[in-house]
Amino acid sequence: VGCAAAAPMSSFDEQARRAIAADVHMISGSHDSQTSADVFNVSAFSLPDPAGRAGGACTSALLQVLHENHDNPGEQLTWVSTLRRMRTVLQGMGYDQVPQLTSSRLIDVNEPMHIVPPGSTGARRAILVGINYIGQRGELSGCHNDAKNIGNYLEQYHGFQPADMLILMDDGQHHSPTKRNLMNAFERITQYSQPGDVVFMHYSGHGGRIPDDNGDEDDGYDETLIPVDVEQVGQIRDDDILKVLVRPMPGGVTMTCLMDCCHSGTVMDLPYRFTADGDVMERNDGVSFDRLGGLGEAAVGLACCLLCLSALLDG
For residue range 151-172, list pLDDT tens digits in order: 999 999 999 999 999 999 999 9
Catalytic sites, residue numbers: 206, 262
- pLDDT tens digits in sequence order for the chain, 315 residues long: 555 444 455 788 989 999 999 999 999 976 544 444 554 444 443 333 334 435 688 999 999 999 999 988 788 999 999 999 999 999 998 888 889 999 999 999 999 999 999 999 999 999 999 999 999 888 888 999 999 999 999 999 999 999 999 999 999 999 999 999 999 999 999 999 999 999 999 999 988 888 776 555 555 678 889 999 998 999 999 889 999 999 999 999 999 999 998 766 667 889 999 988 887 898 887 776 665 554 444 444 444 555 555 555 666
Cβ proximity of 250 and 292 under 8 Å: no
